[in-house]
Amino acid sequence: MTRDSEPASSIDDLDARKSDHLDIALSPKLAFRQAETGFERVRFEHAALPELDLDAVDLGTTFLGRRLRAPILISSMTGGPQRAARINRRLAAVARDLGLALAVGSQRVALESRGAGGLDGELRRLAPDVPILANVGAAQFVAGYGLREARRAVEMIEADALIVHLNPLQEAVQPGGDRNWRGVLAAIEALARDLGRPIVAKEVGAGISGALARRLVDAGVAAIDVAGAGGTSWAAIEAERIADPVRRRTALLFADWGIPTAEAIRAVRASCPDTVVIGSGGVRSGLDAARAIRLGADLAGQAGASLAAADDSGEAAHAHFTALVEELRITCFLTGSADLAALRRAPLLSPDR
C-alpha cells in the first residue's frame, strides 16, 4: 500500500494515515529487516522441582496507584479512526476483566476535533478500576500544543497519566513529518511540573538509552517505556505508504534501527533505579514479558503482537491476553518464582546475567 506525499498537518490526511497504519501493521505481506529484541539471548535456569502451586503464583503489582492482577500494559497502536474505536473498546474490556493496564494510541485526531475514535469517557466506564494512560506526541508540544491540549487528552478518557511519545525516526522518514524537535525536553519538563498527572515518556520502537532516561526523570518524568527495537518498525510501516522510490528506500534503510529492547531495559534500570520502567518493543509472549521483568522492567507492554486479535473480536483479544498472562505464570512456576519479586531474582543461563 502506498500513498502520495500529503501534508501531515491535514486532519483528513491524519485520519487516512492512522487507518493506513492499522492496515499495514496487520498485513501478512509486510516484510522488512527485523531487528532483534535481545530477549532470545535471555534464558532462565529451569527449576525441575519448583515447590510451588502453579495456580497460587502471585502476578499482582501496583501501577499509578491502582492494583493490577498481572504486570501487563496493553498498548493500542493508534487512536485516530472510527475503526480504532472498536479496538479501544475491546482492549478496555480485556483490561477490566484481566486486571491489566491500558494505554491508548495517539490522541491528536481526537484533540483536533474530527471524531474521538473511541477516546472518550466510555473507556473509563468500561474499565473503571484499571490504570488508563492518555497519549500525545512529543513533537506536538513544540508545534503549538501546550498544557491545555495535554489536559484535554487526560480529561477526555479520565486517564491516570499522560504518555508523551517520542518518535523522531517515524517523523524523519514520514512525508510531511515533524522535523523540528528543538525544545522538546523543556516542554516535557513543563508538563511534568504543571499537568497534575504523571508523565510517561515512551519511544515507539527504537528504544530509550539510559542517559536519556536519566535526563527525562530529572525533568520530572515518572515512568519510562523503553519501546525498544525488535517489535513494530514504524520506519517500515511508513515506507509502505511512500510512493516515491527514493524516499521509500530511505525509510527501509532504518527499518531495524534502534536500541534492542533487552538492552534498553537494562540500561534504563541501571540509570534510573527508582523509576517505573515499562519493557515494550517485541514482547510477543508471556515468556518475553517474564524476560523483560527479569531484566529490570516493572511492567511489560504489548501492542503490535495483540493487534490482530483486537481487530478480530473482543473474544479473540480476551483469549490472546489470557494466554499471555498464563505464559507469564508458567514461566514463574518453572523458575521457582512465587511472585514478581522472586522472578526478578530468577537464575539465568544467559551469559548476559
pLDDT digits (tens, 9 = 90+) for 206-223: 999 999 999 999 999 999
pLDDT over 90 at 27, yes or no: no
| 217 touches 272 (CB < 8 A) | yes
When pLDDT is averaged across residues 181-190 and rounded to a whole number, the result is 98
Amino acid residing at 51: E
- For residue 240, which of 14, 34, 36, 27 has the smallest C-alpha distance? 27
| Cα–Cα dist 226/62, whole Å | 19
What are the residue ranges spanned by the domains of the chain?
A: 11-44+63-315
The tens digit of pLDDT for each residue in 122-157 reads 999 999 999 999 999 999 999 999 999 999 999 999
Please report the beta strands in 76-116, taking only residues with DSSP state E, as ranges in sequence order. Answer: 101-103
Provide the 3-class DSSP secondary structure of residue 3.
Answer: strand
When pLDDT is averaged across residues 241-248 and rounded to a whole number, the result is 93
pTM of the model: 0.91
The tens digit of pLDDT for each residue in 94-132 reads 999 999 999 999 998 888 865 566 788 999 999 999 999
Fold (CATH) for 11-44+63-315: TIM Barrel (3.20.20)
Q: 259 Cβ partners below 8 Å, 6+ apart?
A: 206, 207, 208, 209, 226, 228, 229, 267
Phi–psi pair at 68, nearest 5 degrees: -110, 145
Band of pLDDT at residue 190, cut at 50, 70 and 90: very high
